[in-house]
Amino acid sequence: MTSGATPDATAVDSSLSSVEAYRAAILAAITPLAPASLELAAAEGCVLAEDVTAAVALPSFDNSGMDGYAVRAADVAGAAEDSPVTLPVTGEVAAGDIGAHRLAPGTAIRIMTGAQLPAEADAVVPVEWTDGGAARVAIRRAAEHGNAVRYAGGDATEGETLLTAGTRMRPMQIAVAASAGRSAVTVRPRPRVVVLSTGDELTEPGSPLVPGRIWDSNSYMIAAAAREAGAIAYRRSGVPDDPKGVLPALEEQLAHADLLITTGGVSMGGEHDAVKAALRELGTVTFRKVAMQPGMPQGFGVIGQGGAGGVGAERGVPIFTLPGNPVSAYVSFQMFVRPAIAALQGADDLSLPSVRATLTGPVRSPSGRRSYLRAVLDGSKVTPLSGQGSHQIAYLGRANALIVVPEWETRLPADDEVEVLVLP
Ligand code: AMP
Ligand code: MG
């Protein structure tokens, strides 16, 4: 879809696409964002574009795994509950102490967790096995060679690959990079997503409603869903149902966005299809029917290639035109936009987790279309919610999962086992 784009190439593919075919076409058209070096704190949620290796062995020195006493194992070999071994305590080494400590035979050095093991010590006796003495310590249990010692390189060897390109930087991976001495990492950044809701009926929540108008929920919902998927999201609401309003609104965002999402204005053949009309001017967007419910009418393309809008526009900006009905927009986002956000980061880790569960009640689905029914998943049971209309937002707020009813099923009885997608 990216190549050979000509203006005015907006197309209508009238055949019914499967969910998989549509998703594959989207992912094939997405070019991952250029990698950038980001300071570690800013890299959270981004996807590594390089391998991270250990700059030094981890740990880089032998150290104590417990608070206790550094000893020679041979000196405490005879220690037992009823015959403790008593050793003079000749010093103390704390975590961070960089002094050179040496353990003389027949003595002990007090040592803290993470402190360097003194030269010639080969074991640590945990403080719990002793009387905790300061000048002399009575040891009630033998410690074997290496007891409570964390050896240099025991965690990772110098140069070892700790994180591979393509890994998302979650808190654990941030910790690994920091432990490996990295203050910055090369990552594909969080995509900047701009959400535009179109429709003359839209009113900002907080403003009074007059008959014929509704409060805009889509722009808030989709921006929140994009953030939840790791993007940086902005919303622009209430774009009028008029190509003359939609076109400049889209053009204005091309320079700032890595991904554009519109909602509304793409119903099949309506004369108010402002988004469709505006997109004819901007690039290749294909409108299709996808064999699913909700969310049958879908549009995706790449617009603004070749410079319109400056930064980022050379490669084009992917755009999703989501249906206006909130439930359709939501389900479409989870099925198609979420994986696209991952693809912009060079990753494929954002598909919704799928589990099997038992239906607590019967469900229906149109023939030839895959239904995604809002539901409450509770352990191994899943309850379909009533009110599955695409405009029925009240039940959306209770759902934590989507029941998947395959294309070839029109009804499933209670107690059937079904696939369930867990909502984020
Ligand atoms: P459309 O796709 O523009 O034909 O809209 C389909 C339905 O979704 C209509 O009932 C619209 O009023 C509704 N709708 C469109 N945009 C929004 C929005 N941003 N928030 C809530 N409902 C919307
Ligand atoms: Mg509309």
Number of H helices, E strands in the chain: 7, 29
* Ligand 2 centroid to residue 44 C-alpha, Å: 37
Cα–Cα separations (whole angstroms), residue 150 to 86, 109, 113: 25, 17, 10
- DSSP letters of 372-419? EEEEEEETTEEEEPS---TT--TTGGG-SEEEEE-TT-SEE-TT-EEE
Question: Does residue 223 have its Cβ closer than 6 Å to ligand 1?
Answer: no
Please state, in angstroms and rounded to a whole number, the distance separating the CA atoms of residues 24 and 26. Answer: 5
* Ligand 2 centroid to residue 280 C-alpha, Å: 17
pLDDT at 304: 86
pLDDT at 12: 59
Question: Does residue 263 have its Cβ closer than 6 Å to ligand 1?
Answer: yes
Please state, in angstroms and rounded to a whole number, the distance separating the CA atoms of residues 267 and 324. Answer: 8
Please state, in angstroms and rounded to a whole number, the distance separating the CA atoms of residues 97 and 151. Answer: 17
* Ligand 1 centroid to residue 401 C-alpha, Å: 23
Q: Which residues surround ligand 2, an ion (CB under 5 A)?
A: 199, 264-265, 324
Question: Does residue 264 have its Cβ closer than 6 Å to ligand 1?
Answer: yes
pLDDT at 269: 58
pLDDT at 7: 37
Q: In sequence order, what E strands does 46-107 have?
A: 47-48, 52-53, 63-64, 68-71, 85-93
Give the pLDDT of the chain (424 residues) as one tens digit per residue.
Answer: 333 333 344 565 568 999 999 999 999 999 999 999 999 999 999 999 999 999 999 999 999 999 999 999 999 999 999 999 999 999 999 999 999 999 999 999 999 999 999 999 999 999 999 999 999 999 999 999 999 999 999 999 999 999 999 999 999 999 999 999 999 999 999 999 999 999 999 999 999 999 999 999 999 999 999 999 999 999 998 888 888 888 899 999 998 899 999 999 887 656 567 888 888 777 789 999 999 999 889 999 999 876 544 444 567 999 999 999 999 999 999 999 999 999 999 999 999 999 999 999 999 999 999 999 999 999 999 999 988 888 888 888 999 999 999 999 999 999 999 999 999 9
pLDDT at 216: 96
Asked if residues 370 and 17 have their Cβ atoms less than 8 Å apart, the reply is: no
Q: Which atom of ligand 1 is nearest to the CA of 263?
A: 16
* Ligand 2 centroid to residue 303 C-alpha, Å: 21
Question: Does residue 258 have its Cβ closer than 6 Å to ligand 1?
Answer: no
Cα–Cα separations (whole angstroms), residue 151 to 60, 154, 158, 252, 424: 8, 5, 13, 58, 41
* Ligand 2 centroid to residue 41 C-alpha, Å: 41
Question: Does residue 321 have its Cβ closer than 6 Å to ligand 1?
Answer: no
Question: Does residue 293 have its Cβ closer than 6 Å to ligand 1?
Answer: no
State whether residue 325 is helix, strand or coil. Answer: coil
Question: Does residue 391 have its Cβ closer than 6 Å to ligand 1?
Answer: yes
pLDDT at 265: 86
pLDDT at 180: 94
Please state, in angstroms and rounded to a whole number, the distance separating the CA atoms of residues 336 and 64. Answer: 51
* Ligand 1 centroid to residue 240 C-alpha, Å: 12
pLDDT at 268: 61
Long-range contacts (CB closer than 8 Å, 24 or more residues apart) made by 95-99: 95/63
* Ligand 1 centroid to residue 264 C-alpha, Å: 5
pLDDT at 2: 37
Q: How buried is residue 273: exposed, middle or buried, by Cβ count under 10 Å (0-12/13-18/19+)?
A: buried
Question: Does residue 259 have its Cβ closer than 6 Å to ligand 1?
Answer: no
Asked if residues 229 and 341 have their Cβ atoms less than 8 Å apart, the reply is: yes
pTM for the predicted model, two decimal places? 0.89
pLDDT at 270: 61
CA 50-59-141 angle, 5° bins: 150
Q: Which atom of ligand 1 is nearest to the CA of 267?
A: 4
Ligand at shortest distance from the CA of 241: 2
Q: In sequence order, what E strands does 191-291 have?
A: 192-198, 202-203, 214-215, 232-239, 259-263, 283-290
pLDDT at 271: 56
Backbone angles phi, psi at 116, to 5 degrees: -60, 135
Q: Please write down the HEC assignment for all residues of 133-157.
A: CCCEEEECCCCCCCCCEECCCCCEC
- Test site for ligand 1: of 236, 325, 331, 390, most ligand atoms within 8 A of the Cβ: 325
CB-based burial, 301-338: b 16+ in 10 Å, e otherwise:
bbbbbeebbeebbebbbbbbbbbbbbbbbbbbbbbbbb
- Test site for ligand 1: of 195, 215, 218, 287, most ligand atoms within 8 A of the Cβ: 218
pLDDT at 267: 73
* Ligand 2 centroid to residue 261 C-alpha, Å: 15
Helical (H) or strand (E) element with 220: helix 218-228
What is the separation of C-alpha 238 from the centre of its chain, rounded to a whole number of angstroms? 29
pLDDT at 4: 37
Q: Are strands 283-290 and 11-17 parallel, antiparallel or unpaired?
A: parallel
